Structure 1
Amino acid sequence: MDIRDLWAEALAGMLARPLRSALTTLGTVLGITTLVITLGVAATAGNQIVGRFDELTATAITVEVPEKADPLVTWDAPAALTRLRGVTSAAALAQTDESSNLQVASNTLVDPARVTNQTLAVVAGGPELPQAVRGRMTEGRFFDAGHVERRDRVVVLGDQAARMLGVTRLTSAPAVFIEDRAYTVIGILGGLRREQILSTAVIVPPTLGADFGLKNVTRVLVNTTLGAADLIAGQAPVALSPNHPDALQVIAPPSPTRARDGVQDDVNGLFLILGMVSLVVGAIGIANVTLVTVMERVAEIGLRRSLGAARRHIAAQFLLESTLIGMTGGVIGAGLGLVSVVAISAAKEWTPVLDARLALAAPVAGALVGLLAGLYPSLRAARMEPVDALR
């Protein structure tokens, strides 16, 4: 049988029952559409998730400073960091286990109807701390370099600590008592996006930190521009402690590229399983309809065999029919899938991520599904004897 005759017979067989062929193609259409949509949406969603990850956490670096008799990092060392290109803010912190559980009271009066004593953490921080923790002053102001130089007895409360102590307004210059020593509250810090533990802490200037065992810096918070975290993570120890950079431990965010690949791989794996299940359903539909078609065309098969058609010709005809059905479903499914990805992205205001290789591979995948689905019906048709078929 000439290849052109084989193609014409397979096409005629597929178009002889257009409604049945259309319903059979629908199974592949659904499978390919689901596959294209899931992979496209997975790539788009993964890109969106990584964008949000970058904005929130991929620019934050923490430098842990071990406690030693001679300070490894001075309180003014973060100023050297801000001169590095890519650093937006940096601040030093000091906190110890001893300073994490101190008695703090909002007044010295004993009021049975109100709890005025709280166990809170006391933290020493530099004037740049609000920018470093990405917070804002909900009340008052943060202490500045003048407060530090004059050793003013001022403190800033975290928003939750202020609520616990009953300090809501600063118009009357309220004071808190830490270990029976009075300090004026000049501000309340809230809206923290880093170091949320500071929301329940009392923040004191570095010059007052020695009163609570907070003489040396224990942690430096650094914020960078997007994409500069890896570079600054390598430069920060040298800038903070030129003589002992290896003694500092830098906690840098994971690479955005690795995060994107991880998210996309996880989502792709999940949706790929769903797409494969849909393809299996479509393949079963093609196999069932092709088998029914073989049984209905027994007389035609017998006539062809009696006129000289070999078994391979009969098998090739039905195999090509099922392959054409699968390829048609793949083409239609790829188109619908790409349109759906664009529509979903537009509705969510995302940037669609479309892989041209997927669109080109979809018809091939559909044809392969049709080919595999048509194997058994084609072999069954090829095994028929002419006499039995004609009978």
Structure 2
Amino acid sequence: MKVRIPGRESRTRLLRLGRRSRTAPVDRSRLGARDLVSESAAGILQRPARSALTALGTVLGVGTFVAVLGLTATTSSQIDSRFNALTATEVTVEDTGGDRPDLLANAFPADADARIGALGGVRDAGVYWPVRLNPEDLVSAAPPGAGARGERTQVVAASPGVLAAAGPRLEQGRTFDAYHNRRGENVAVIGSGLADRLGITTLETAPAVFVGDHAFTVIGIVEDVERKADLLLSVVVPRTAAERIWGGPEGGERAKMLISTDLGAARQIASEAALALDPAHPEHFRAVPPPDPRSLRGNVTSDLDELFMLLAGICLVIGAVGIANTTLVAVLERTGEIGLRRALGARGRHITAQFLAESGALGALGGLVGTSLGAVTVVALAVVRDWTPVIHPATVVTAPAVGLVTGLLAGLYPAWRASRIQPAEALRR
């Protein structure tokens, strides 16, 4: 029966340990910190390819951990900036009618746009409401009876400030202004999708849309809006023209006001709007300020946090299983070496410490590399998307420790298995 003997360097180290064991009683044999580090490093460097593959699972797990936390923080910051640019500059004022809403058809005064526009920080403001049409009133590109196919589409009565506050991007034409509103002109602005369905492709021929028997000249086609996206699916007509033809808002379809403000002025405008519209009866209006950006960010990112943290945890588990499997295989391959160490006086706890040190070192190394790769991923993605990268310092400090703990946990069973090997049994293999 042959006994597998370790290499020359390993034999030198073992003989050195053996000399130490001969000069001291067996029960006082010890493994110094320097010897533990050197033996663990030798065990890792003897099989560099296997060690690299063993640490790869921890690299992926810790890298995903850092990337997830960094991208979450970066995305949250980006959500805040976009929120401030759009939603935080928007105020909606609702007409409640006070205690007796049935006695007041429309609480907004005729000069509501000018009253709100006089407040500091207001950019644009306008009153709007959905027009209540008769069931037989359809929207088409030809007069009734001409064979054109009509469809049921919402018609919105709006003052010029509504379209300005919505931030439209025009495909063709223009929006109506104070002149059209003052004269009650039958003009309309429609969305590009509605224009396609009605067959309106150009404004050079001064096309019209018919709402029942009433014709409105289309002066603008809107491609997109920053606020109030339902305008893209509606026929928007001047407020005065709608009042002349259909009257004011009725029943539950009360008027509202859309206000766009400077950044940081929305909540102040919301507190002043009702009094500016009607100093005698501010209770007729209810201003809706923008929501808290922190709560918005929490609602948007909480689900993503849980999902990606679960993904990072799965990667860490896979890395731990890889380390455990490779360390256990190493224990089986180094049975002869372990037996020789035990025969020269090494205790079971020394063997346990050595294999735990090897697995912990691989985990810590994987944690360091994974932290670097995760941070580089966050910065690279932020640069590509023109964002500001955000990585919390605690994440960078904690991630290598996570790799170390993962490696130690993965090496517990293989180290215990190695410590249970008996010298006589090992040397017979």
Question: What TM-score bracket applies, with the shorter chain setting the length?
Answer: 0.7 to 0.9
Q: 1:147 to 1:79 in 2, by over 3 A?
A: closer
CA distance in 2, matches of 1:369, 1:276: 11
2:161 corresponds to which of 128, 131, 135? 128
8 Å contact kept, 1:81–1:239: yes
When the two structures are superposed, what TM-score results if normalisation uses the length of structure 1?
Answer: 0.82
Deviation of 1:103 after TM superposition, in Å, equals 5.8
CA distance in 1, matches of 2:247, 2:81: 41
Q: 1:165 to 1:381 in 2, by over 3 A?
A: closer
Amino acid at match of 1:84: L
8 Å contact kept, 2:338–2:426: yes
Amino acid at match of 1:261: G
8 Å contact kept, 1:305–1:386: yes
Aligned residue for 1:38?
68
Deviation of 1:15 after TM superposition, in Å, equals 2.6
Give 1:244-255 correspondences, 5 Å limit.
244-255=281-292
Structure 2 SS opposite 1:91:
strand
Which has the larger displacement, 28-37 or 94-103? 94-103
When the two structures are superposed, what TM-score results if normalisation uses the length of structure 2?
Answer: 0.75
CA distance in 2, matches of 1:346, 1:66: 48
Alignment length (residue pairs): 384
8 Å contact kept, 1:324–1:367: yes
Which has the larger displacement, 94-103 or 338-347? 94-103
Does 1:63 pair with 2:93?
A: yes
Aligned residue for 2:53?
23
Aligned residue for 1:318?
355
Does 1:89 pair with 2:121?
A: no
Give 1:376-387 correspondences, 5 Å limit.
376-387=413-424
Structure 2 SS opposite 1:309:
coil
Structure 2 SS opposite 1:374:
helix
Q: 1:42 to 1:195 in 2, by over 3 A?
A: closer
CA distance in 1, matches of 2:210, 2:377: 63
Q: 1:320 to 1:243 in 2, by over 3 A?
A: farther
Q: 1:76 to 1:100 in 2, by over 3 A?
A: farther
Q: 1:251 to 1:301 in 2, by over 3 A?
A: same
Aligned-residue CA RMSD (Å): 3.5
Q: Which ranges in structure 2 are unaligned for 5 or more consecutive residues?
A: 1-29
8 Å contact kept, 1:91–1:127: yes
Aligned residue for 2:299?
262
8 Å contact kept, 2:160–2:238: no
Deviation of 1:344 after TM superposition, in Å, equals 2.8
Structure 2 SS opposite 1:350:
coil
Deviation of 1:201 after TM superposition, in Å, equals 2.3
Aligned residue for 1:155?
186
Deviation of 1:204 after TM superposition, in Å, equals 3.1
Deviation of 1:342 after TM superposition, in Å, equals 2.1
Deviation of 1:368 after TM superposition, in Å, equals 0.5
Structure 1 SS opposite 2:186:
strand
Structure 2 SS opposite 1:371:
helix
CA distance in 1, matches of 2:201, 2:60: 62
8 Å contact kept, 2:121–2:261: yes
Deviation of 1:90 after TM superposition, in Å, equals 0.8
Q: Which ranges in structure 1 are unaligned for 5 or more consecutive residues?
A: none
Does 1:349 pair with 2:386?
A: yes
Aligned residue for 1:297?
334
Query: Cα deviation per residue 1:131-163 (whole Å; 9 max; x = unaligned)?
Result: 123236743662425852xxx341221225777
